[in-house]
Structure 1
Amino acid sequence: MSTSTSNAVRRIVVAPRPLRIAVVAPPYFSVPPHAYGGVEAVVAGLVDTLVSHGHHVTLVAAGRNGTRAQEFVQTWADPPAHLLGGSIGEVINAARVLAGLRLDSVDLVHDHTLAGPLLAASRRVPTVVTVHGPLDELADVYRPLGRTVQLVAISRAQTRQAPELNWVGAVPNGIDVDSFPFRSRKDDYVLFLGRHHPTKAPHLAIAAAKAAGVRILLAAKCNEKVEHEYYEREIRPRLGDDVIDVGVADAARKRRLLAGARCLVFPVCWDKPFGLVMTEAMACGTPVVALARGAVPEVVAHGRTGFVVDRPDELAAAILRTHELDPAECRAWVGERFSLEAMSRGYERVYRTVLGAGVTASLSGLPVAGADGSRS
């Protein structure tokens, strides 16, 4: 036997074992959603990709299971969309998760709901929580929970809003890029896609399109009281031949509208932690014109996949420049950074970090209120 052979070292790589993951979805729409439901779309894509990677997933959700999850716990037979905007739907959903989810069959719980994290301290397994909402409200929920919840941000901008929280990672939302049709030649309209709500500001999108002399289509949800009031006050008076309300778009129509638009106008008026519709537009080769709030500068590559401006009065000029951008670069940008594969790998790293750290659901170390209201 030669020296080189005798001194050779055989390296054995052991693949990490598959995980058993319970994924808890919000209760208001099915998973995946038929139309509106950004969080539900993210959950569906994550579940299917985790299963394709060999993990065992238990989906806890309303309606029917439309994913590849091996197990399903139904919280509502019919998703209670009419309860969206209130608190009772979340509370009932949390109670049903507590009653229906068997913790002896999972390694960790990944919760995407608002009230669900309140259950974390009662579990023997870690609870990973994706923070989908605005931290100006949610920080007061997560702060008292301390290390009983392992928080995941969906952008770096989100963590900067409350750096003292127990962040264990930042994983941008992902989409199924291949499910979005790519078009390099566009029709002569711009698109607003989302909700009729003051913080989404479709009235600013309308004003920008009018100033640019371009027709705008509005595909937006309008079923909550605040949405109806905003629509009647700000949108209905502006409708006409150049401002067309096409209603809520289902998954197929949304893709057609996004693919055909000159650009998506995203005049968000709050520090939104992500903005899934921007990635969906760019996947279709459609650039985004947006205000620089929250995570927008992280999602859109200014001057390459869209234009990010500081003031509403700059949106019109940006719309007129979108012909300078390459649709192929828009799609490539999303494929590299915001795919389901990228998202699922990010969460797998978070799961293994949390489990490797031996995280337990304990309130020890947090201040506890005494019977007299004092804190010890």
Structure 2
Amino acid sequence: MKIAQIAPLFESVPPRLYGGTERVVHYLTEELVKQGHKVTLFASGDSITSAELVSCTPRALRLDADVRDSVPHQMLQLDKVRERADDFDVLHFHTDYLHFPLFRAEAGRTLTTLHGRQDLADHLPFYAHFAKMPLVSISDAQRAPLPRANFVATVYHGLPLDLHTPTFAPRGCYLAFLGRISPEKGPDRAIAIARAAGIPLKIAAKVDKADEAYFREVVAPILNGPGVEFIGEINESEKTEFLGQAAALLFPIDWPEPFGLVLIEAMACGTPVLAFRRGSVPEIVEDRRTGRVVSTMEEAVQAIPDVLALDRPSVRARFEERFSASRMATDYLSLYQKMARRRPGPEGEFSALAARSLSIAEPVGRVTAPRPQSEAN
């Protein structure tokens, strides 16, 4: 198939440091190329890919000190996609909904994976207005606030199986917090849990400008106490050691997490997870199998011994069964092919894709059928 992947421009594909959406786009793109499809990636010019790269801005916007407004860059990207739209069987967008007005007439050829939270009131009338645009959620919980939106599937994220080498006998004897410093991610909760359990905590996280006040006023003052080490932002190659040597990952979120890529990164390392029951967590973490899912701070502290006792090879095995990049690509290919079969060709016949009988096995991951009008880095 001829597939366009349209990535956000804020980070490169893959990102140098933090960046969940762009990382997922990278894994999906590379797996599709590996499987023999012709993929074109619309992304920042500093991206690295096996696909054809269409540079839509010289470098990732977050790393470009000269960028003051992202919208012109995003508009230029969409215009480049529009100019080449007829070259592709599928236009797969990962850029939220900015393209909806421009590609409404091409709805049958577009697929939009929503990567962020969808529980904001502003979203409801927008998705209702663009009811024909096919959407993919990354968890059933993510789509719950939008019962009128046109969700055609839920596809869980996946990672390459060789990305992280699992560690079954960690020597670190610490709990890990990985991601971003912000109130909804709960680093202050992680510190409180670790100290209550009497286990050291290492925090590897970035601090966005929007969260500098929270870091300065809430997190920094409690970093100076015993048993907490703040490492800062780490890159992809450092994650294997950081997560693999940890006794467990703490994920004490206080927001409707759409997916939580760090959850499956930890599982890939064989590291169990202690996570709060918000958003996607009950779908991703299997309680008492790959981690513990709790609702309160008291439950979290009490659950620490259970988490540490979980079998790390089993955690890794469940990651391989549920969250591989090949499974993710297979799920998306199933959707692409269904879209192509339903789209009439220039003479009213089904597309060449359907005629070629490109059959694949039924997805082994989580792909759900559209829900009745009566579930969303």
Q: Structure 1 length as normaliser, TM-score?
A: 0.85
1:117 aligned to which of 94, 97, 100: 100
1:174 aligned to which of 158, 167, 190: 158
Equivalent residue, structure 2, for 1:326: 311
Equivalent residue, structure 2, for 1:222: 207
1:28–1:83 contact (8 Å) kept in structure 2: no
Equivalent residue, structure 1, for 2:242: 257
Aligned Cα RMSD in Å? 2.1
Q: Which runs of 5+ in 2 are unaligned?
A: 346-377
Query: Please, which moves more after superposition, 243-252 or 129-138?
Result: 129-138
Alignment identity in percent? Answer: 36
* Aligned partner of residue 289 in structure 1, secondary structure: strand
Shift of 1:154: 0.7
Equivalent residue, structure 1, for 2:50: 68
1:356 aligned to which of 327, 341, 362: 341
Instruction: Give the Cα separation in 1 of the matches to 2:125 and 2:248.
Output: 37
Q: Which runs of 5+ in 1 are unaligned?
A: 1-18, 361-376
Instruction: Give the Cα separation in 1 of the matches to 2:100 and 2:136.
Output: 12
Equivalent residue, structure 1, for 2:227: 242
Shift of 1:34: 1.4
Query: Please, which moves more after superposition, 199-208 or 129-138?
Result: 129-138
Shift of 1:344: 0.3
2:107–2:134 contact (8 Å) kept in structure 1: no
* Aligned partner of residue 343 in structure 2, secondary structure: coil
Q: Deviation string for 1:305-358 (max 9, x for gaps)?
A: 100001123212222322220001111111111100110000011111122222
Count how many residue pairs are aligned between Structure 1 and Structure 2: 338
Instruction: Give the Cα separation in 2 of the matches to 1:327 and 1:46.
Output: 26
Instruction: Give the Cα separation in 2 of the matches to 1:342 and 1:124.
Output: 25
Instruction: Give the Cα separation in 2 of the matches to 1:296 and 1:91.
Output: 36
Shift of 1:268: 1.1
- The higher-RCO structure (CA 8 Å, 6+ apart) is 2
* Aligned partner of residue 177 in structure 1, secondary structure: coil
Shift of 1:140: 4.3
> Larger Rg: 1 or 2?
1
Query: Please, which moves more after superposition, 274-283 or 115-124?
Result: 115-124
Q: Deviation string for 1:196-246 (max 9, x for gaps)?
A: 111111111111001001111111111222x11110111100113411110
Letter in 2 for 1:80: L
Instruction: Give the Cα separation in 2 of the matches to 1:158 and 1:53.
Output: 29
Equivalent residue, structure 1, for 2:24: 42
Instruction: Give the Cα separation in 2 of the matches to 1:83 and 1:155.
Output: 32
Equivalent residue, structure 2, for 1:134: 117
Letter in 1 for 2:43: A
Instruction: Give the Cα separation in 2 of the matches to 1:40 and 1:344.
Output: 15
Q: Structure 2 length as normaliser, TM-score?
A: 0.85
Equivalent residue, structure 2, for 1:104: 86
Cα distance change, pair 267–140 in 1 and its aligned pair in 2 (3 A)? farther
Instruction: Give the Cα separation in 2 of the matches to 1:139 and 1:21.
Output: 29
Instruction: Give the Cα separation in 2 of the matches to 1:192 and 1:150.
Output: 35
